[in-house]
Amino acid sequence: MNLLFIFPLLTNNILRGGDRIIEPASSDASIEVYRHSASHIMAHAVKELFPDTKLAIGPATSEGFYYDFDCKKVFTEEDLPLIERKMNEIIKAGRPFIREEVSKKDAVKLFESLGEMYKVELLQEIEDDVVSLYREDSFIDLCRGPHLRSTGKVKAFKLLSVAGAYWRGDEKNKMLQRIYGVAFFTKAELEEHLRFLEEIKKRDHRRLGKELDLYSMNDEIGPGLVLWHPKGACIRKVIENFWTEEHYRAGYQILYTPHMAKLDLWRRTGHVDFYRENMYSPMEIEGADYEIKPMNCPFHIYVYKSRLRSYRDLPLRFAELGTVYRYERSGVLHGLLRVRGFTQDDAHIFCTEEQLEEEIIRVLELTLFMLKTFGFSDYDIYISTRPDKFVGTTENWERATNSLTNALTRQGLKFSIDPGEGVFYGPKIDIKVKDCLGRPWQCSTIQVDFNIPERLDITYRGQDNKDNRPIMVHRALMGSLERFFGILIEHHAGIFPLWLSPVQAAVLTISERHVEYSRSILDTLKKEGLRVELNTGDEKIGYKIREATLQKIPYLIIIGEKEAINHTVNIRTRGGENLGEMTVEQLITILNEEITKRR
């Protein structure tokens, strides 16, 4: 069954009678129905305005609704008010949604006669002999339902945007046009959501990345491949240095590994069997097939296997900022959040079963410390348990899951169980950070692996002088640098704390005669390791301040006649606060204290 036909059944206490027509109420179930009904009204409006349009699918989503259309006219955002007006006419008419059950055969004939071939294709996949249709006035659609009692029950909606979408998400199929909208029970809720969307738009890392000259992507290089510009690369280097220092402090050893390996390695690890759709085509080198790496794990294993390991060596912690490459469909690529080449802050821990729980606690402590340092103190934690298809014994899975649970409990961390959502090789902890807007982002993960240690036969010599199998833990704190950087941009709205800012201060001259003194200030601050730039242009000081503020530079150092004579500086913050005149030494103290506190 497909999207329109798998719209979730609601419980009997929500349904009114047996007709699967419901009234709006404040529940997740009914908001889905409310939004799904709005998507039908939108489809009706589009059909009336553009009769040659063919209908595809139109489900509710967690945020609103959408509908996919096949239409000769290319929709633009300028068309949305026209469609909204027609929707309001349909809503004002208050026509009932009428459920009809017909044979699948009759439904096929109906939609063939209407030229709705996408509906016919959906019908052909349905095994039931009887299907349901929903009609309101002259509009009819294939749908499982339920719906509101009438179009008039929709009180507050807004169409947002137009995008392309391949039929059934397959790039081999025709590109359709998708119109997105939102709907709420009240206008107050809608207005609040629209304000929220405006705030998201202001923080969009793709827009800020361009405005602040942090990164770019270019189709001539390839979609999903990131070009780090000097300012973005500067922030990345600061993050990497902090990451490296903290990992050395936490007892990790840093590795560097190749970007590709023989394809046979990926067969042995199981990636070819379980992960092939995310891997690129192999390349032949001297008669052997090589694959660019989708993972770092096998390389760390072979460092482990490079010599005999003893129980005295364990726990052994290997970490790497390793760049990997995964195939993602072009339709799902999204700025820095979904790319094809990215750097994982990867680590693998080899330990005994007795050490596992303590190692998980150590990872949790390091993870939460680093997340808090970057400004994330709110998060949700999940334990994902054994899926239907898995490797290893149920006893091992139970012991590993208990270790994850016990570690979280000992740390006093609240968590939820995500049943059956573990990876095939072991259970895991997932930490979803919440940004300043309350949006959750999957970043950190701690995974126990029963698969690769067996497949690649890794062992350690135990106290019994026999070979034993170590437990392997995969973990990432930030997930990937690219994605984490995108989240950071949006969380801080590009207003990075001083320690992360690519330019920490800008020296701005009032006139040309102050240039020489300003250069001496620049040199002094740079010798202190501060990231400073100088603007000696002919523009007025007000313009220079405005430009530096738009670039979100934390401190503005203004040099005029008084400062040049007194050998001082005048300081203003990007927030508009005037700190007044001070010595260069005082400024250096202020900056270094703030940087040390990572604020």
DSSP for residue 96: B
Catalytic residue among 68, 178, 271, 297: 297
DSSP for residue 436: T
Percentage, residues of the chain above pLDDT 70: 95
Q: How confident is the model at residue 27 (pLDDT cuts 50, 70, 90)?
A: low
Tell me the β-bridge partners of 182: 158
Catalytic residue among 40, 203, 231, 428: 428
Mean pLDDT to the nearest integer, 248-275: 92
Compute the residue count for the chain.
Answer: 599
- pLDDT reading at 490 higher than 90: yes
DSSP for residue 324: E
Q: How confident is the model at residue 206 (pLDDT cuts 50, 70, 90)?
A: very high
Tell me the β-bridge partners of 254: 319
What CATH fold (topology level) applies to the domain 3-202? Threonyl-tRNA Synthetase; Chain A, domain 2 (3.30.980)
What pLDDT was estimated at residue 3? 33
Q: What is the pLDDT of residues 294-350, one digit of tens each?
A: 999 999 999 999 999 999 999 999 999 999 999 998 878 999 999 999 999 999 999
Q: How confident is the model at residue 423 (pLDDT cuts 50, 70, 90)?
A: confident
Average pLDDT over the chain reads 92
Strand locations in 49-92 (E)? 54-55, 65-70
Range with the poorest average pLDDT among 170-174, 188-192, 245-249, 538-542: 170-174
Confirm whether 158 is a catalytic residue. no
3-state SS track over 376-420:
CCCEEEEEECCCCCCCCCHHHHHHHHHHHHHHHHHCCCCCEEECC
Catalytic residue among 474, 475, 492, 544: 474
Q: How confident is the model at residue 396 (pLDDT cuts 50, 70, 90)?
A: confident
- Domain boundaries in the chain? 3-202, 215-257+296-388+427-492, 505-596
Q: How confident is the model at residue 389 (pLDDT cuts 50, 70, 90)?
A: confident
- pLDDT reading at 20 higher than 80: no
User: Torsion over CA of 268, 269, 275 and 278, rounded to 10 degrees?
Assistant: -90
Confirm whether 229 is a catalytic residue. no
- pLDDT reading at 120 higher than 60: yes
Confirm whether 344 is a catalytic residue. yes
Tell me the β-bridge partners of 228: 215
Mean pLDDT to the nearest integer, 373-400: 91
Q: What is the pLDDT of residues 513-526, one digit of tens each?
A: 999 999 999 999 99
Measure the CA–CA gap between 349 and 304, rounded to whole angstroms. 10
- pLDDT reading at 269 higher than 50: yes
Tokens of 6: 């798998």
* Closest C-alpha to 385, from 450, 446, 429: 429
CB count within 10 Å of CB 192 equals 12
What pLDDT was estimated at residue 24? 52
Better-predicted residue by pLDDT, 394 or 322: 322
Catalytic residue among 344, 447, 504, 551: 344
* Closest C-alpha to 280, from 232, 332, 327: 327
Strand locations in 462-516 (E)? 467-468, 471-480, 505-509
User: Could you give the C-alpha distances from 172 to 2, 116, 167, 333, 334, in angstroms and in order?
Assistant: 18, 20, 9, 17, 20
Confirm whether 491 is a catalytic residue. no
pTM of the entire predicted model: 0.87
Catalytic residue among 47, 86, 317, 326: 326
Catalytic residue among 153, 158, 178, 348: 348
Catalytic residue among 68, 346, 435, 449: 346
For residue 109, the surrounding DSSP H or E stretch is helix 104-113
Environment class of residue 363 by beta-carbon count within 10 Å: exposed (0-12), middle (13-18) or buried (19+)?
buried
What CATH fold (topology level) applies to the domain 215-257+296-388+427-492? BirA Bifunctional Protein; domain 2 (3.30.930)
- pLDDT reading at 529 higher than 90: yes
Q: What is the pLDDT of residues 66-114, one digit of tens each?
A: 999 999 999 999 999 999 999 999 999 999 999 999 999 999 999 999 9
What pLDDT was estimated at residue 14? 29
Measure the CA–CA gap between 264 and 197, rounded to whole angstroms. 47
Question: What are φ and ψ of residue 441, in 5° steps?
Answer: -130, 125
Name the strands in the sheet holding 54-55, side by side, starting at the edge strand that comes first in the sequence. 54-55, 65-70, 175-184, 156-166
- pLDDT reading at 390 higher than 90: no
Mean pLDDT to the nearest integer, 498-509: 98
Specify the CATH number of the domain 505-596: 3.40.50.800
Confirm whether 442 is a catalytic residue. no
Using alpha carbons only, give the angle 442, 447, 451 rounded to the nearest 5 degrees. 135
What pLDDT was estimated at residue 245? 97
Mean pLDDT to the nearest integer, 197-215: 96
- Contacts of residue 330, Cβ cutoff 8 Å, sequence gap at least 6: 171, 223, 224
- pLDDT reading at 199 higher than 70: yes
- pLDDT reading at 586 higher than 80: yes
* Closest C-alpha to 100, from 145, 64, 69, 154: 145
Q: Which residues of 218-245 are buried (b: 16+ CB within 10 A; e: fewer)?
A: eeeeeebbbebbebbebbbebbeebbee
